[in-house]
Structure 1
Amino acid sequence: MKQAWPHLRQVLSFVLVGASSTGLYFLLLWALRGSIPSTFALTACCYGVSMIYNYILQSWLTFRAGPPTRRSMSRFVIMHLTAMAMNSLLMAGLVDGLHLPLYQTQIGVTLFISAMIFIVSKRWVYQS
Structure 2
Amino acid sequence: MYSSYSSRRRNSIFRDLEDEEFISRLAYLSDIFGALNHLNLSFQGPDCTVTEFISKLGAFVRKLDMWMKNVESKRYGMFELLTTLEREPTNEFAQEIVHHLSLLKTELKHHFPEVTCAYVANPSSVDPADLLLGPGNKWNL
Q: Normalising to structure 2: TM-score of the pair?
A: 0.35
Tell me which protein shows more helix as a share of its residues: 1
Larger-gyration structure (1/2): 2
Q: Higher relative CO (CA 8 A, sep ≥ 6), structure 1 or 2?
A: 1
Question: What's the TM-score, normalizing by structure 1?
Answer: 0.38
